[in-house]
Every structure is written in C-alpha cells, then in structure tokens.
Amino acid sequence: MEQRPELSLPPLHAFAVLAEELHFGRAAARLGIAQPPLSQQIRRLEDKVGAPLLTRPPGPVALTPAGHALLPAARQALAALTEGLAAARAAATGRTGTLRLGFAASLALTLLPELLRTYLDHYPQVRLDIREMTTAPQLTALREGDLDVGLLREPPPDDPDLSFRTILTEPFVAVLPRAHPLAAHRTLTPDQLAEHPFVLLPREAGPGLHDRITDLCAPRVTQHATEWQTVCALVETGLGVSLAPASIRRIRLKGVAFRPLTGTNARTTVAVAWRGDDDSPLVANLLKTITHPG
C-alpha cells in the first residue's frame, strides 16, 4: 500500500477552525487569510487523507465521516504543539528545570532560607537540587559540571573557569566552652586564643577560610571537624576553642559561649559562584534574585 506523507500542522489548524465554524468565510477571517488559500489548504489536506473532509456549498458545510474521524487527532496535535511551545518558552526563560545548588552549612543560618523563599516565589516550577558542601568540594563540583551554582566562603582570588560575586561579609567571633576562663571576658583578641587547643575545619574543606583563621592567631589545632555544628559541639565538650564566622552564634548550645573580637577588622567573605561560560537562564535568574531580592 502506498504510504501517504505526514500531515503538517498549518492545514490541520485550518481544518480544525473550519470544523468549528462550518463556514469558509468566517473560518478564513478567523485565520487571518483569504478564502481561496483556506480552500487550497483543505484541498491539500484532503489529498493527503485520500478522501473529502467536508461537504461544500451550495449545500451546508459539514464534516464527512473522514472529517469526523480526523478532527480529534487534529485537535490533539494542535494542543500538543501549544503545550510544547509553552514548555519550551518556560525552559528558555528559566521558569522550569532543575537547578543544582551547593551551599556552605553556615549559610543555612543566614541568607540561604530567605534567598530560596524569594527565588521559589518568582520561579515556583523550578526544582531545586540543594547540596550541603564545604567550599573546596563546591569548587570541584562547579568545575566538573556537577553543580550549577555555589554559595561558599572565601572564594579563590583567581579562577579561570569560575565567576564569583560577593554577597555577604561578616566578622569572626571566638567560640569557647562556657566554663572556660576566657568566657568571663566580654571581648577577646585573637592572640588570647592562640595558646589554647583549637578545634577547626580541616584546610582541605575550605583553604581560604582556614587560612584566614590561622593568619589571625596561629592556633594550635588539636581537633578537626568538617561542619561548624560539629566544631561547636567539640568546643562544648571542652576539647578546645575556635574562631568562626559571626553567624555561627545562631547555633544554640548551652555549654558554648561566643565573644566578639577586638584588635582586628578581619571579616569572612561569602560569595556566589558559577561557571563563567554557563549561559543557563536558571543560573541567570538565581543571580538576579541575589542581586535584586525584592
């Protein structure tokens, strides 16, 4: 049997409109074309089907059995096209899709909750794949394409593959067991902490932040912990003291005291990071949310 060519969408659209109007003049006006081109489209469609789809004047325009059989498929094809175009536009403008976001755990205590609420208010159909990661793993995941955006501390000063934008700076605070003699002071200098055992993040977790802290007081590190929550827990047990970003004060442990630092203006930097050549609208929209949170 001879195979007939696939039906194209413009004639199907013309047929669907004519099937609703059952009047060539009204259908042509609705389509914004003259009546002869409409008739030509219907004729070409009938040639592909191999049968008349409508009866013609001088009698009333009506669907033939073939026309009745084709109409549901024509409407389904047109509806699928409309849905496909809407989905394509949504993806092209970053209103749908999956955004893979890394974040330093301490940022859950500061900007992360409000940032995510604002972003999802604007882009509710985007799926967020959120991953808690320290700085160094975030940088690796970004370079390897496993993350789209990172929220991290102390970005490297120069990276040929990544772009950074500072979004927050905050001072450091001393972290002490509440029973520690230094906890009796209202403020402390970094040098006062240096002679005591220290609990600190390992350098491989975040070299920039680690070096900022060790530059402040050359601490004698005796314990390491990957997350600030764990650092505070180890401090509470009396294993040492620490220096941490000020937002860590939101970790509430009864046996831990936080004290502001004097004698230094040092601050830690929080940045958003992304691949410099990434033109994803999902990334662009998140950066826009961070820049203009309202």
Tell me what pLDDT residue 3 has: 43
Whether the predicted pLDDT of 8 surpasses 90? no
- Tell me which residue of 271, 272, 273, 275 sits closest to 161, measured CA to CA: 275
Spatial separation of the C-alpha atoms in residues 163 and 8, rounded to whole Å: 46
Q: What are the pLDDT digits (tens) for 130-146?
A: 999 999 999 999 999 99
Which domains occur in the chain, in start order?
A: 9-92 (1.10.10.10), 98-294 (3.40.190.290)
Tell me what pLDDT residue 81 has: 86
How much is the pTM? 0.75
Q: What are the pLDDT digits (tens) for 197-213?
A: 999 999 998 899 999 99
Mean pLDDT over 26-50 rounds to 91
Tell me what pLDDT residue 293 has: 56
Tell me what pLDDT residue 94 has: 82
